[in-house]
Amino acid sequence: MYNREQAAAIIKTQGILPLYYHADANISIAIAHALYKGGIRAIEFTNRGEKALENFKLLVNERNNKLPDLLLCIGTITTPQDAHLFIEAGANVLISPVFDADVSDVAYMSKVLWIPGCMTPTEIHVAYTAGWSLLKLFPGNVLQPHYIQAIKSLFPNIDFLVTGGVETNAENIQSWLKAGAVGVGLGSKLMIPSMIQENKMEALTQLVEGIMQIIHQFKQNK
């Protein structure tokens, strides 16, 4: 079990957080393996379908048996009930599109990292005063990199993970990192639907390897 600091460090070091949901358990597991093969050590499985809890439990079992150093995050957590269920299922990290005080309390009492979603300076301030310093800025395609540049000086102790509309090319990813983000969340732009439908897992591995290289090069040149 990772503590909050360790979990946050893994995500920030990786610089990318792949996120996805699939109703097919075998495909969910295959995606996790493809990402892992490409160097990913933290993924977000989203709570966006009827099979979310069932498939997440299978991912936890797969991680325990074959992917021992994989950090498993569960996204789209908006109720304390779901927070409890997924923590019991083995989630290392909870991620939400919003700030919810009840979810915050569950994560805090369970000693699990929570990454709440924020958009406005007020939401960021509320999340930080509640004890959370790694926040999800969402949606990225609305906010754009200059938003981080505009607010970063107001919140020097907060790390921002951007999701929503982030592209997989070097120019877009590096624009977020240059603006001050510690990482980007990538969903359908990384797990391209046609790629998944055609079971092209090797192509997914190659794509994520390229993105990891983009992030590595950026950090080397800082």
Options 5, 12, 37, 44, the catalytic residue: 44
Options 5, 50, 88, 136, the catalytic residue: 136
pLDDT of res. 165: 86
Stretches where the chain sits below pLDDT 50 are: none
How far apart, in Å, are the Cα atoms of 125 and each of 33, 117, 134, 192? 37, 12, 12, 35
**Is 136 among the residues known to form the active site?**
yes
**Is 44 among the residues known to form the active site?**
yes
What is this structure's pTM? 0.96
pLDDT of res. 117: 98
**In 10 A of CB 33, how many CB atoms?**
16
Give residue-wise pLDDT tens across range 147-198.
Answer: 999 999 999 999 999 999 899 999 999 999 999 999 999 999 999 999 999 9
Q: Domains in the chain and their CATH numbers?
A: 4-217 (3.20.20.70)
